[in-house]
Amino acid sequence: GAQRESKVRVRAHFDYNPDVDPYIPCKEAGLAFQRGDVLHIVGQDDAYWWQARKEHERSARAGLIPSRALQERRILHDRSQKDGIDLDSKQNDDFDREQIATYEEVAKLYPRPGVFRPIVLIGAPGVGRNELRRRLIARDPEKFRSPVPYTTRPMRTGEVAGREYIFVPREKMDADIEAGKFVEHGEYKGHLYGTSAESVKSIVNAGCVCVLSPHYQAIKTLRTAQLKPFLIHVKPPELDILKATRTEARAKSTFDEANARSFTDEEFDDMVKSAERIDFLYGHFFDVELVNAELVNAFEQLVQN
């Protein structure tokens, strides 16, 4: 028959082997998995045994796995054995359930039909996160949009208020940053620049995909801003590929005078080192890693997921 649609996707935080589970009603019906596997929960009718199948094994049958409640109970039981805690006493309520790692819901790119999570491109300077954002928007400007940033610098001739930037007085922007109205901000040559949470929300609420490419230090504020961003680490390829592709790209580049020069070997090394540092500091936050060799293809796939 037709495969049942999964309601929930979770990432398992523990290994499970039904063969050594004395309580499973039927070992043959069990589904083995490992910590880190993504599971589609296809049945939650039973309080103790859920039905699930593993992601990327769509043809495979669904099997029984312990429910969250059962697994929490087991972990608590193991801990109480170890620490001599009486499981049935009221003390039990003191356990913080958040601390019991069982299954973590995996956020989707589409939280509701017609609503897209903001895509946040993070990458070491020079690897191409801004260029990637520009290309994405150029490809489908109806779908991908970036908010107009705020700045406190004076408007230049040829600029239009609200097009390049929303120009605001310093005191106003200082106060708004203080009030948490910016999802990211930075200072450049004595002027403030930043992206407001409102402008991100209005793009999301219009049914478009909001694309941001802030400095990597913005990861923390973006993650706490209740925007549920889809974080992508744009990584450089291997050093020799990086050098070859970027030198070629630069030779063809016409869009930006200041950038129309080659990177030095030192700059290439810095890119690779910065990327490693970003990985080390924030690696666990990323939903996806993209190696920026052939970008647009990777994106198309991603957004269609």
Q: From the CB of 95, what's the least distance to ligand 5GP, in Å?
A: 41
Q: How far apart are CA 195 and CA 206, in angstroms?
A: 17
Would you say 186 or 237 has its CB closer to ligand 5GP? 186
Binding flag, residue 195, ligand 5GP (CB under 6 A): yes
Judged by CB under 6 A, which stretch of 1-9, 11-19, 113-121, 180-188 contacts ligand 5GP? 180-188
Would you say 16 or 182 has its CB closer to ligand 5GP? 182
Binding flag, residue 194, ligand 5GP (CB under 6 A): yes
The secondary structure of the chain as a DSSP string is: -PPPPPSEEEEESS-B-GGG-TT-S-GGGB--B-TT-EEEEEE--SSSEEEEEETT-TTSPPEEEE-HHHHHHHHHHHHHHHHT--TTSGGGGGS-GGGS-SEEEPPPS-SBTTB-PPEEEEE-TTSSHHHHHHHHHHH-TTTEE-PPPEE-SPPPTT--BTTTBEE--HHHHHHHHHTT-EEEEEEETTEEEEEEHHHHHHHHHTT-EEEE---GGGHHHHHHTT---EEEEEE---HHHHHHHHHHHHHH--S-GGG-SPPPHHHHHHHHHHHHHHHHHHGGG-SEEEETTSHHHHHHHHHH-
**Position among 40, 53, 133, 185 found at the interface with ligand 5GP (CB under 6 A):** 185
Binding flag, residue 148, ligand 5GP (CB under 6 A): no
Q: How far apart are CA 55 and CA 53, in angstroms?
A: 6
Q: From the CB of 265, what's the least distance to ligand 5GP, in Å?
A: 24
Q: From the CB of 117, what's the least distance to ligand 5GP, in Å?
A: 19
Would you say 128 or 194 has its CB closer to ligand 5GP? 194
Judged by CB under 6 A, which stretch of 2-10, 132-140, 185-193, 274-282 contacts ligand 5GP? 185-193
Judged by CB under 6 A, which stretch of 113-121, 178-186, 255-263, 297-305 contacts ligand 5GP? 178-186
Q: From the CB of 218, what's the least distance to ligand 5GP, in Å?
A: 7
> What are 272's strand-pairing partners?
none
Binding flag, residue 196, ligand 5GP (CB under 6 A): no
Q: From the CB of 212, what's the least distance to ligand 5GP, in Å?
A: 8
**Position among 37, 131, 176, 184 found at the interface with ligand 5GP (CB under 6 A):** 184
**Position among 9, 32, 100, 186 found at the interface with ligand 5GP (CB under 6 A):** 186
Binding site for ligand 5GP (CB under 6 A): 149, 153, 184-186, 188, 193-195, 214
